[in-house]
Amino acid sequence: MVKLLDIINEIKEAKGENLLTSLDKDMKLRDDLGLDSFDLALLTAKIEDEFDIDVFEDGLIETIGEILIKLEK
């Protein structure tokens, strides 16, 4: 979860947005975190580099919790 928070904050920082202090499993990537498709593309690339898993491989993911489930597999 900490690593995922770092990745999301890196993306937000590059966009000049405020950083998050924590993540919640129910947070929606687009609605709550304000990530657009280009941000999600970067998110999946960075997760892939870090964990060697393409979390969006089977289709779009909506929440932080869904990413965590993929990473736990």
- Tell whether residue 56 is a contact of other proteins (CB under 8 A): yes
- Tell whether residue 64 is a contact of other proteins (CB under 8 A): no
The least distance separating other proteins from the CB of residue 14, rounded to whole angstroms, comes to: 6
- Tell whether residue 41 is a contact of other proteins (CB under 8 A): yes
- Tell whether residue 19 is a contact of other proteins (CB under 8 A): no
Give dist(CA 10, CA 2) in Å, integer.
Answer: 12
5 φ, ψ (degrees, to nearest 5): -60, -45
Cα 29 to its chain centre, rounded Å, is 7
Give dist(CA 20, CA 8) in Å, integer.
Answer: 8
Interacting residues toward other proteins by CB under 8 A: 14, 37-38, 40-42, 44-45, 54, 56-57, 60
